[in-house]
Amino acid sequence: MTSLSAYNQLLNHVKQTSALGQIAGVLSWDQEVMMPPNGASMRAEQMGALAVVSHAHQTDPRIGDWLDQIDEASLSNLEKSNTRLVRRSYQRSIKIPASLSEELARTTSHAQSIWAKARAANSYADFAPNLSKIVDLKRQEAKCLADSGANLYDALLNDFEPGMTTSVLQPLLENMRPRLTALREKIAESNHAQPTLTGPFDTDAQMKLARSFADVVGYNWDSGRLDLSVHPFSSGTGNDSRITTRVGADDPLDCLYSTLHELGHALYEQGLPQDVALEPICSYVSMGVHESQSRLWENKIGRSRAFCTWLWPRINEAFGAGTVTSADELYRIINRVETGFIRTESDEVHYNLHVLLRFELERDLISGSLEVADLETEWNRRFKRDFGISVPDAAHGALQDVHWSAGMFGYFPTYSLGNIYAAQLNDTLRKAAPDLDEEIAAGKTETALHWLRENIHQKGSLVEPDTLIEQVVGQKISAEPLLNYLEDKYSELFAL
């Protein structure tokens, strides 16, 4: 078999595997948005069965044979990237027993419904047995993946942020804590008046305005849809990139900015190079980079003064004249700072402290230095340390996020990586487009979207995430631009 023939057979096989992965994504979306509660047990069996089939595809011995027969010197850069990604996936997959893969899929699918009920009942004890099983399975998975003596958490982190290690991540995130807590304390001591919105706010009007957000940022409705769910999320890729949001009568901004956040994810997926659809390179490069897209749209653009200039009259049109008196008042409302318990509702100042808490807890769970039985108590202790307030109950503490029930250990730190990348990208974008604020104020985002398409989206997974960011911004990963942005913005807002 020639090198070219081996490559083509490899690619065809991988495309089939990618299609199976996309089916799993659609099933997960259906479970969150449309499936009745009694369907959870059957869906767990379906996900387990699909995991077996997918694992068989991912570990097919022919993949190793094809890789051995490929002469990489004869490949184009694109083909080399595809081969690199397949090799990494294959080497990972063959380390995981099919039985473990199946058990993880079945257990986590079932656990998500148990978690939802436990959160509704405000009972950590109702979920703890399932979480113990998941942590045990994830430790087993990490031991399969990690080299002898290597950090187990790194093995899980690598699934979401290839190449990232705890030795890099831990100081990067923990060194943010002093400046973030100092900023939080200065804002609290300022006693600066913060305007608010008063409801109720019509849910249909919220969804109509949320759809206008999608229109203004360039979301392709022919390749996506917007639905309601308990927890906003983005699913799918390319020509099937779906998003969900949530509504609440007391606060339309949660709906609007959850939508804008998920639109950032979906725009990335819709912008991937569709001429190589289902090939390994037609995929997001990492969850950190993925999050950078949502955070750039949600915060750097969506919470800017310029965007508030565009949004202000539309808020009044949607909810009644006088809902907000000026664009400046809207800017201050949207950028309120308040110490709270819920990560997804937190402001820019507090958000990364929420992520840091979760990173440190899940790192300790995987290492075995923290057991599930002690997680709630330890969560509450550390939260009081970082936020200065006591957690009132499990729903506002250890049960608030779906991620651990889904087995997504190693995912949380990518939220802060996304914020870090977004700040670096925002600085670079604004240097390339000095008139960006004027365009945003007029409801024109084509310049920003085109720049992201060219520099991030169309690159897919051609290079590793750290390389991609460095190529675009001209520097290695650094939290300095993010911390400077936060300090500058909120010092001005609160006259610090």
pLDDT, tens only, 250-272: 999 999 999 999 999 999 999 99
Q: Quick check: bond before 232 cis, omega within 30?
A: no
Query: Helix 480-493 vs helix 413-432: angle between axes, to the nearest 10 degrees?
Result: 80
Residue 149 CB partners (closer than 8 Å, separation 6+): none
Active site positions, annotated: 262
State yes or no: pLDDT of 362 exceeds 90.
Answer: yes
Dihedral over Cα of 372, 374, 377, 380: its sign: negative
The answer to whether the CB of 287 falls within 8 A of the CB of 269 is: no
Going by C-alpha positions, the residue among 242, 219, 245 that lies closest to residue 232 is 245
Per residue in 182-211, pLDDT (tens digit) is 999 999 999 888 999 988 999 999 999 999
Residue 23 CB partners (closer than 8 Å, separation 6+): 50
State yes or no: pLDDT of 20 exceeds 80.
Answer: no
Per residue in 294-317, pLDDT (tens digit) is 999 999 999 999 999 999 999 999
Which helix or strand (DSSP H or E) is residue 408 part of?
Answer: none
State yes or no: pLDDT of 88 exceeds 90.
Answer: yes
DSSP 194-237: ---------HHHHHHHHHHHHHHHT--GGG--EEE-SS--EEEE
Give pLDDT, residue 149. Answer: 83
State yes or no: pLDDT of 34 exceeds 80.
Answer: no
